[in-house]
Amino acid sequence: MNPLAENIKQLTTGLDPVEALKKLAELFAGEIVFSTSFGWEDQVITHMIFTNNIPIKVFTLETGRLFPETYYVWNRTMEMYENTIYAYYPQNGPLEKMLNEKGPSSFYESVENRKECCGIRKVEPLNRALAGNKCWITGIRAEQSVNRQDMHNVEWDEAHNLVKFHPIFEWTLEEVKAYIKKHNVPYNILHDRGFPSIGCQPCTRAIREGEDFRAGRWWWEDQSKKECGLHELIIDNK
């Protein structure tokens, strides 16, 4: 593990999520961000940040293909906490080129096309959102997929040259739901309709009983690792 990441792991061991977030906000003042896609886990962390006035910038990736329910919870979250959630959009040029050459649904045709779409709509905007920062907070939990069980709550992101921290990494889904209920946190109602993981509308479906947590993402692809590129560098390098 990177020395800085190892140091952060030692400093945050034994702290609850709010205490850890406060500690990191002090250590990385003005250089710490949290990425939200408005799922269960992200709403829990957003609540922690906003209700405790922790100086961490909250941002989201506006891909242009989100569910109406996601836009609703985005707006409701801003209204409830009276705080800004910064949006990062795809660059017009690459997006227009892809659509003009391949149409609006090219991601169904091949893994390469799907990764191209994710790269334009998510990875490149994420790179801009993280630029100049030293700590990235995420809502990743260990039990979300087999791939993520190989991760740790503190990691070094070589691609972005920063520390990555997952404050509720060890939480179970039941703990997440209980927190949301206890604190009346707004959440995406698609979760109640069988969507444990919610991304772009054309690429996400509800899962069936017994399916993996992320089976509803890019369900037409036959592969064991279905990540969009936002976290796969960390996963693949473990």
Dump pLDDT digits (tens) for 1-60: 799 999 999 999 999 999 999 999 999 999 999 999 999 999 999 999 999 999 999 999
For residue 64, pLDDT over 60 is answered with: yes
Neighbours of 140 (CB within 10 A): 23
Question: What would the DSSP string read from start to end of 189-223?
Answer: GGGGGT-SS--BGGGB-PPPTT--TTTTBSTT---
Parse the chain into domains and list their residue ranges.
Answer: 3-236
CATH 3.40.50.620 fits 3-236, yes or no: yes
Dmax over CA atoms of the chain, in Å, equals: 52
DSSP-assigned letter for residue 123: I
- pTM as predicted: 0.90
Residues 55 and 49: their CA atoms lie apart, in Å, by 8
- By annotation, the residues acting in catalysis are 228
pLDDT tens track for 91-147:
999 999 999 999 999 999 999 999 999 999 999 999 999 999 999 999 999 987 555
